[in-house]
Amino acid sequence: MDTEIKRMRKYKFVSAESSESIKEYLERMAREGWMLENITAGSKLEFVAVEPVEINYAVEMIPDGSIFDTHPTGKNEEYIEFCKKAGWEYICSSANIYIFYTKNPDAVPIETDEELKFQTIKKAMFRNTGIIMLILSGCSIMQLSMALTINLNIVESSVIAFSNLFLHGLVLLMACLFFWRYFRWIYKAKSAIRAGEKVFGKKAKSPAQALIFLAGFATVHGTICMILSQKYGDEIGKMVPVIWILVFGLVAICYWVQTFAERKRIGKTGHSLIQLIVLPFVFLLVLAGVTLIFIMHVMKQDSSADGVLTGDELKVFGYSQEFVAHEVKVDQDDEFVLHIQDICIEALNEDAKALRESGGQISGVEKDFCPITYTWNIMLYKTEVEAIYDRLLREVSNGIRTYGVRFDYNGAIKTEHMDMTTFEKEVEPGEYEYLIYDGSAIVRLRVSGEKLDEKQTAVIRRMMQE
Amino acid sequence: MAREKYKTLTEQMFYILICLKKERCGIDIMDMVAEMTENRVALGPGTLYALIGDFLKQGMIRETSCEGRKRNYIITDKGSQMLSEEYKRLKELVSDYESAEDNR
């Protein structure tokens, strides 16, 4: 005789609002000769082969349970006792959902007050999912409104920031979907109670459906980000697919942690601590690490890129190589805006370094303060995105910036300077500020002492052409 | 459960409170309700559990002792008061019905 016990696994999300449909499903399985044995991680249903049998199942949500429960504890055991007394055999629990069966068709139902059951489940749905959805959508609304106002420049210039809008949109969509279903369910349930019908017959979704939806979104989102990153040369934007892989990793780990917690019967507090604090923390840590790797990778590429001021070019601005021990490079960060590092700060750092190394005084240098700080600096704005460029240009000539640093160029003199339009302004006696733009970039330049001469503009022009 | 529910008690609530006039454990309540009402009022174990939880929260009953999984409860003054108010209400209903019958 074959004594091997046959088992089968099925995947379905077990939730209170779909308890009726789960119950019907389990009863159908029993008629087909499969008896429920255990539920893992709220979705893996394990069946064992039995003689086909006509039994009644009950899928009930315990009122004082938590979604982080891994096994019945303390007072919840009283619930099982009550049910046992009423002829219902306990099979297993999945978080706050308890599964019972009875072979007695006349057994008193576990819930005899549909209104009370409805109120309990309604509250639990809001507590377990509603609050999280509210918090998430609140964050998303805040992020979206900031992205469309004060952070617009970042959004326009960074693929990552731009792509985040989609994610916030997705969160909002999910929250709207949840609340729409939630309120529709409440409405339907109320009329069902009035009519004396069953309330909790919502069809149970399978984890595969959720995963396919998420994978579909990730594919579309990742592809768009890759295309944009390629188009605009935004290397950091290329980490979006990596982020998605991490997200799927997180989903898998959450599932594994829940399985582990249930197997080891970890308490509610410990389990919720892991799921709500430890896992998000580890995820953010890994994300930060990956971001750092990408940034370092991009910086490495930059150091070999053009956009370097040579020693001779430095001289035309009154600087010699000795002030700048290493080459000053164009800092090509994740924005399309190129920003030349403040050469004077570089010089200051070098002086500070020299000071540290000499262990004493350098004439004219006190502590970390360099007397030549900010005699001039250059900011170079360069973008491949036409919309940003147009706006920068418009704002430069208006003298008003809608965000970020304010250009105050109302009192500036406009000149044509070697194929470049220049706004020149004496901000303080002997200190000039320039806004220069050609067909591809805008330079904001501050010069002490003398006005910009031809050699200096030639250097700027070279930088702009790069 | 909404608080206004307690202004009038459902049959199940009413019988649970009656049972708890004496110290009893939950399982005994089920038996007693079935006995008292000759199985007319069906009190499901889940409903009983939820109502006990609610009554405890509202201070209408209190837990007296706990032996393993078996917990005993007894009605409080607040619970007794609500029960007697409900009794008065029911009596009014009956007398209103009777006077309506008499006037016919």
pLDDT at A56: 93
Q: For A373-432, what is each residue's pLDDT tens digit?
A: 333 455 555 555 566 566 666 666 666 655 445 556 666 777 765 566 777 777 777 777
Mutate to test the interface with A, among B25, B43, B48, B73 (most CBs of A within 10 A): B48
> According to the model, what pLDDT value does residue A42 have?
86
Q: List residues of chain B with CB under 8 Å from any CB of chain A.
A: 1-2, 10, 12, 26-27, 30, 42-51, 53, 69-71
DSSP B21-77: TS-EEHHHHHHHHHHHTTT-S---HHHHHHHHHHHHHHTSEEEEEEETTEEEEEE-H
Q: Which residue of chain A is at minimal alpha-carbon distance from B44?
A: A110
Dist. CA B36–CA B32, nearest whole Å: 6
Q: Residue B67: phi, psi to the nearest 5? A: -115, 100
CB contact under 8 A, A119 and B47: no
**Looking at CA atoms only, how far is residue A246 from chain B in angstroms?**
41
Give the CA distances from residue A169 to residues A144, A159, A162, in Å, rounded to whole numbers and listed in that order.
Answer: 8, 16, 11
Compute the C-alpha angle A71/A73/A75, nearest 5°: 140
Contact A116 B51 (CB under 8 A): yes
Contacting residues of A for B71, CB less than 8 Å apart: 75, 78
CA nearest A398: which of A383, A419, A412?
A412
Contacts of B24 by beta carbon, 8 Å cutoff, 6+ apart: B32, B72, B73, B74
Q: How far is B102 from chain A (nearest CA, A)?
A: 33
Establish how many alpha carbons lie within 13 A of residue A227's alpha carbon, considering only the half-sphere containing its beta carbon: 6
Residues of B in contact with A79 (CB under 8 A): 45-46, 49
Flag if A86 and B45 touch (Cβ within 8 Å).
yes
Residue A83: list chain B partners with CB under 8 A: 45-46
pLDDT on residue A114: 83
CB contacts, 8 Å: A111 with chain B: 44, 46-47
Secondary structure (DSSP) of A252-298: HHHHHHHHHHHHTT--HHHHHHIIIIIHHHHHHHHHHHHHHHHHHHH
Token pair for A191: 């009329």
Which residue among B2, B45, B71 sits closest to A88, beta carbon to beta carbon? B45
Q: Tell me which residue in B1, B44, B53 faces A112 most closely, judged by beta carbons.
A: B44
Q: How close A35 gets to chain B, by Cα (Å)?
A: 23
Nearest by CB to B12, from A78, A81, A112: name it.
Answer: A112
Give A6-49 pLDDT, tens digit per residue. 999 999 988 887 888 899 999 999 999 999 999 998 889 999 99
Nearest to B46 among A75, A77, A111 (CB): A111
Q: Are the CB atoms for A342 and A377 separated by under 8 Å?
A: yes
pLDDT digits (tens, 9 = 90+) for B89-102: 999 999 999 998 88
- What is the phi-psi region of residue A344: left when phi exceeds 0, alpha when psi lies from -120 to 50, beta otherwise? alpha
For every one of its 466 residues, what pLDDT tens digit does chain A have, with 9 covering 90 and above? 456 789 999 999 888 878 888 999 999 999 999 999 999 988 899 999 999 999 999 999 888 888 888 888 877 888 998 999 899 999 999 888 999 999 988 888 998 888 888 888 888 888 878 888 999 999 999 988 988 877 776 676 677 778 888 889 888 998 999 899 889 888 888 888 888 776 666 777 888 888 998 899 899 989 988 888 877 667 777 888 888 999 999 999 999 999 999 998 888 889 989 988 999 999 999 989 988 888 777 666 554 444 445 556 555 555 544 443 333 333 333 222 323 333 333 444 455 455 445 444 334 333 333 333 333 455 555 555 566 566 666 666 666 655 445 556 666 777 765 566 777 777 777 777 777 766 555 666 666 666 666 776 776 666 666 5
Cβ–Cβ under 8 Å, residues A125 and A181? no
Helix B26-36 to helix A76-85 angle (10° resolution) is: 30
Chain B residue numbers touching A86 (CB-CB < 8 A): 30, 44-45
Predicted confidence at residue A163, as pLDDT, reads 81
Closest C-alpha among B34, B14, B25 to residue A87:
B34
Question: Taking CB atoms and an 8 Å limit, are B44 and A109 in contact across chains?
Answer: yes
Look at the alpha carbons of A435, A441, A447, A452 in this order and tell me if their dihedral is positive or negative. Answer: negative
CA distance A84 to A100: 9
- Of the residues A77, A111, A112, the best mutation for testing chain B's interface (the one with the most B CB atoms within 10 Å of its CB) is A112
What amino acid is encoded at B70 in this protein? Answer: K
Distance from CA of B84 to the nearest CA of A (A): 23
Q: Is the pTM of this model over 0.80?
A: no
Please give the mean pLDDT across all residues of chain B: 87
The alpha-carbon gap from A85 to the nearest alpha carbon of chain B, in Å, equals: 7
Distance of CA A280 to the CA centre of its chain: 11
**Beta-bridge partners for A45:** A10, A39
What is A175-229 written as a DSSP string?
HHHHHHHHHHHHHHHHHHHHTT--S--PPPPPHHHHHHHHHHHHHHHHHHHHHHH
Which string of DSSP letters, residue by residue, matches A83-127? HHHTT-EEEEEETTEEEEEES-TTPPPS---HHHHHHHHHHHHII
A117–B46 CB contact, under 8 Å: yes
Q: What pLDDT is stored for residue A336 in this prediction?
A: 27
Considering CB atoms only, which of A77, A113, A119 is closest to B12? A113
Least confident stretch, A304-318, A321-335, B34-48, B65-79: A321-335
Q: Which of B47, B57, B65 to mutate to test the interface with A (most CBs of A within 10 A)?
A: B47
* Beta carbons within 10 angstroms of residue A388's beta carbon: 19
Which residues of chain A does B51 touch, with a Cβ-Cβ cutoff of 8 Å?
113, 116
User: Nearest-CA neighbor of A445 among A363, A343, A347, A370?
Assistant: A343
- Each residue of A232-262: b (16+ CB within 10 Å) or e? bebbbbbbbbebbeeeeebeeeebebbeebb
Which residues does chain B have within 8 Å of residue A66's beta carbon, measured at their own beta carbons? none
Say yes or no to pLDDT of B73 above 90.
yes
- Residue B29 confidence (pLDDT) above 60: yes
Check B26 against A75: CB less than 8 A apart: no
Measured between beta carbons, the chain A residues lying within 8 angstroms of B69 are 77-78, 80-81
Identity of the residue in B1, B12, B26 whose CB atom sits nearest the CB atom of A78: B26
